[in-house]
Structure 1
Amino acid sequence: MRVLFDGFWWGVGPVSNRQVMREFILAWAAVFPQDELVVAVRRRHAAFAREELPDRVAVVTTRFAPQGISAILELPFLARRVGADLTLTHNFTPWFGRSAVFIHDFMFLTSPEWFTLRERCYFALMPATVRLSRIIFTSSATEARRIAGFVGARPVVPVGLAVGSGLLDARLTRPNGIDDVVGFHLAVGRLNARKNLGNAILGSMASGVVDARSPLVIVGEPGGRSAKLPSGVAEAVRRGAVRFLGRVDDGELAWLYAHTDGLLFLSLDEGFGLPTLEARAFGAPLLASDIPVFREILGDAGAVFVDPRDPVAIADGIRRLPRRGTAGVAGVASEYSWERSVRTIRAASLPAADALSTPRRA
């Protein structure tokens, strides 16, 4: 089978988008060496992609931007040119041809208040084109149920995600800005309304655990509709009890996971929530929102679950976190691996590819 992959984000881009498709491609090349893989990347990232990809994986270049426009209008012509049996894209579906699409989530449809007008207009191309796909993939069964409510009879298959190889293989590096701490709790993710940082900060301040010597460390960049932070945050930042580190590299993030007293992941909603698996891979205790997707991927015993809208419950949850290295800290469930993800994708894609594939000249 010859597969064309949407590699628009191969060089730079949103962390989750970039990581997921990269890991799918690398895992597919390793698990299915008999398949012919072609990766479509932006022209300026072509040399970088060729250095990182196995020699037998072909690279073709794209010109269009943003990613959605390239996927919809450009990739179907590239697929025809390279003779692809299947095109696997990210969030947006090609206008014609045999394709499958991996969609992170449809939260912008169920909770539009968390997104800017510009984001909603752009993301509207996802449901507008998704019915052109022969099969839809997403990360969790919870998200699959949400997407299924908008796509009619199209199959939506959850494939899971896993911890990125770049994070697992990174050399641990202590970030700047926390040299004087004796401990810390950690929050990871884009700084927007959905990530619920306001309540995370309020709960931290009320816990009696977080202070200037054991601060709440927040990693991430602004993205999407911003949230109004509670009064007192500026003073907590001035005292060093809350510290914003911005974007960190894999080595710094791995160090933070490996040393934190606990990850606070208190999103109001998620399609999957990869930082929860990342934290568990590094043995970090986990305080998580009590929402269906986290119960699905973590299991009932995988975290301390709290109501993310209740700062009092959050404060209590922080105090109840188990110590690192104790029996109360769970590891990553074995069913989450990139190999398992691509095996699921390929098995589900084969009927669509085989049904309409045409013989190629030898």
Structure 2
Amino acid sequence: MSHLFEPLKLRDITLKNRIGIPPMCQYSATDGMAGEWHFIHYGSRAIGGAGLMILEATAVTAAGRISPGDLGLWNDEQIEPLAKIARLAREQGCVPAIQLAHAGRKASVGLGWGEQRTLRADEGGWQAVAPSAVSFGEGYAQPHELSVAEIAEVVTAFVAAAKRAIVAGFQAIEIHAAHGYLLHQFLSPLSNQRTDAYGGSFDNRTRLLREVVSAVRAVWPENLPLLIRLSATDWMEGGWSADETVALCRGLKALGVDLADISTAGLVPTAKIPAGPGFQTEFAARVRNEAGLPAAAVGLITSAVQADHIVRTGQADMVLIGREILRNPYWPLLAAQELRQVGVWPNQYLRAAPSGSVGR
């Protein structure tokens, strides 16, 4: 049997296979509300055969959006459109998860396909915040440095969004602490120049993330898994490192995190990233095998054989397939065919399924 199609149990949730869809921003929301694009985009991927689908970065405050097109869970009105997506996924046997996020100093920029710079007030922009008053780079405004009281409000916002995610019917939460957004900004010495309890030492720089995880775990149902997304390295001298990621994950496991989604970079625009097939998998392997925390690998994983090899050889517990699933929502079904597994197709599509497939 292919290891890629073995089930994976996280608390009381069992993924039907080791294939997940990572969070990928669609920049198509209005006032944080999911709409028709999201229903079609996520619906088509939910029926494509993946075991897990993590919805895109969903802001815990309006000011925490990357762009005006980001999803949000900062008010109750945003619950029902997301609940529709969660229901559809569950009906197809795909576990719905949602990524809760705060963009920090990378907030208030244009849509993902537009010019990446801070929007002016007359363009609908707003004040970005950060651990320190250090901008992301050229074209980005200097952020407001958060006070200790404002940091506490960030924790409260994550908790409130998690409670709304429960009402919406999601079966997992992923806390976004990667790609240069707020929680990652606190982790890295390159963006965190504070001298108080939230800056300087490893313990201080990881304090906010640990507080968010502990507070969310306290309200998130005990039987449901909590995931974390981390950038394992900034790919910059003096930045957040893979060794620190392993040490952090040991602590996060003790706080109730069930799986680490391991990516890299995003903190500074000048990082030199050696991108190539599976280039981030080694970091997932370190977290899994050194920190003892189940890990997901992501990044230029494109073929079924490659994905199966990663799981088979113990480099990761599952793989997250991003760009390939944007190109082909049914990648998991075709991967089953390639690996000679029984594909479980929607009954409505069964007439087009390969021989030996079954319906659901």
Same fold (TM over 0.5): no
TM-score (norm 1): 0.28
